[in-house]
Amino acid sequence: MAEFTDRSGDANSEDAIASIAQQMHYPLPIVRRVYEAELARLKADARLTDYLALFAARRTRAALQSGRQVRAGAP
């Protein structure tokens, strides 16, 4: 069985990452790292994946606002 790759989801993720970086004045690599970590956490237990990008963006903003995961080298 071939794995389905959602290219529009990738584009939406990149748009979300760029938007968060611009709105919150954080460097793109930091926002990308936090977003990808949040998305991976959500995907690990997800049964439905329709809104994962939305939830990952929300959790990324919250993490950046609270200062979590922003330190250099933080996982």
- The string of pLDDT tens digits covering residues 1-54 is 333 345 556 888 999 999 999 999 999 999 999 999 999 999 999 999 999 999
Q: Report the alpha-carbon distance of residue 27 to residue 30 in Å, rounded.
A: 6
Cα dihedral across residues 60, 74, 65, 11: positive or negative: negative
Question: Tokens 């748009």 belong to which residue?
Answer: 15
Which pTM value belongs to this model? Answer: 0.76
Number of H helices, E strands in the chain: 3, 0
Q: Report the alpha-carbon distance of residue 3 to residue 39 in Å, rounded.
A: 18
Q: Are 56 and 42 in contact (CB under 8 A)?
A: yes
Average pLDDT over residues 50-75: 81
